[in-house]
Amino acid sequence: EAQVTQNPRYLITVTGKKLTVTCSQNMNHEYMSWYRQDPGLGLRQIYYSMNVEVTDKGDVPEGYKVSRKEKRNFPLILESPSPNQTSLYFCASSPRGRHTEAFFGQGTRLTVV
């Protein structure tokens, strides 16, 4: 089954403790992105990647890191999480081309206390 898989689905952590949210897609898509969803703000892009070893900042990159060492994986790293990073996070992938839609993972709900 074609899918984007995020782990974990739920995570509670403490301020300053480094964490990684994994994202993997099995559709051989070139493009991958991370979004955060907050009430009243919709989805905002954190980082995106157009291919292996090619990443760039989105609209709200502060406090986040990403890497794209393999085509299928795009982990999101929070080196020193803070409470304002409490949010619902989505990973998405899409194939190359102008008119293709994004395929989303099921989300990771992160709480930083």
Rounded CA-CA distance 8/6 in Å is: 6
Judged by CB under 8 A, the residue of 19, 43, 52, 77 near another protein is 43
Under rule CB under 8 A, residue 42 binds another protein: yes
Q: Would you say 14 or 41 has its CB closer to another protein?
A: 41
Under rule CB under 8 A, residue 57 binds another protein: no
Under rule CB under 8 A, residue 101 binds another protein: yes
Residues 6 or more apart whose CB falls under 8 angstroms from that of 86 comprise 110, 111, 112
Place of tokens 């989105």: 58
Q: How far is the CB of 35 from another protein (least distance, A)?
A: 8
3-state secondary structure of 83: helix
Q: Would you say 8 or 16 has its CB closer to another protein?
A: 8
Under rule CB under 8 A, residue 1 binds another protein: no
Rounded CA-CA distance 46/33 in Å is: 7
Under rule CB under 8 A, residue 11 binds another protein: no
Give the pair of three-digit tokens for residue 73. 């994986």
